[in-house]
Structure 1
């Protein structure tokens, strides 16, 4: 496979995201991380900050690009010549939701496939919300997020 898209809001990027991106980079020559501009979601980090954190956290991976996007994901994938979307699933609730999204994206772009990757047991419980909560309560982030995220959270002082 040449190109896959891994979409998300990444507020902030977690070790779970990095695991999925790393695994996707073994499946495709090019992984486009699509950082969503989601006006219905209040984010802690702005779009540029989220993209910068992803650049830092994925610098060690070949063939990975970070690109912000708004609009329909199916259109974004077509613009970037992607054959598939990569989505992580942590359990059955995620699977049901992702199946519905896959069907919508397929209806919008019939050439686009969706690959659902099960979360790694070591990182499957991590979410961006968990990272922010652990940080807020002065917990150790080493097992949850890249070092650049810890530094960025310290600078945010939320």
Structure 2
């Protein structure tokens, strides 16, 4: 039977660091499902559907990786999709505390499901979707932080949502 791993996240937007974890998990597991959800603690720039679409586009060359979305408990989603492992990426020690707490809660809810923490490649240790959006909001260069396809989508969305900060606004 195939070993199925689920990599959940908000991916708002997907970064080069996310893709690093996805591709490395794909080398370990028979099937990886990238599962997009709305994080109640974050204000999302892109809709869940847009985030799924962007992930499908950047992972187009990896047909063995499935992109999906869900609402509700992650554990329920994993059980419905016959997953056995939750993939979580860690950038720094500061990520560990909240990730450990969530992994412990998931273990209590579903003892048969394991959580695998993967350290991000050191070149992406500083990278988060929030940081990408902040750099983009000031007109900074986000090349290499996100795939090329995402850059245009990000800048267009930032303009549509009036999230670009100009010098005159910044000095107020």
Any runs of at least 4 consecutive aligned residues in structure 1 with deviations exceeding 4 A, and if so which?
A: none
Q: Residue by residue, what CA displacement relative to the aligned partner does 1:68-112 show, whole Å, maximum 9, x if unpaired?
A: 111111111111111100000111121121111111111111110
Aligned to 2:74: 73
Number of residue pairs the alignment of both structures matches = 158
Aligned to 2:90: 89
Q: Whole-Å Cα distance in 2 between the matches of residues 81 and 43 of structure 1?
A: 28
Aligned to 2:100: 99
- Structure 2 residues not aligned, in runs of 5+: 164-172
**Rg (Cα) greater in structure:** 2
Aligned to 1:42: 43
- Structure 1 residues not aligned, in runs of 5+: none
TM-score (normalizing by structure 1)? 0.94
Q: Residue by residue, what CA displacement relative to the aligned partner does 1:121-158 show, whole Å, maximum 9, x if unpaired?
A: 11111100111112122222112001121111222113
Structure 1 residue 39, shift from structure 2 partner: 4.3
Matches within 5 A, 1:8-157: 8-156=9-157, 157=159
Structure 1 residue 38, shift from structure 2 partner: 3.2
> Matched residue of 1:65: which SS?
strand
Q: Whole-Å Cα distance in 2 between the matches of residues 55 and 62 of structure 1?
A: 9
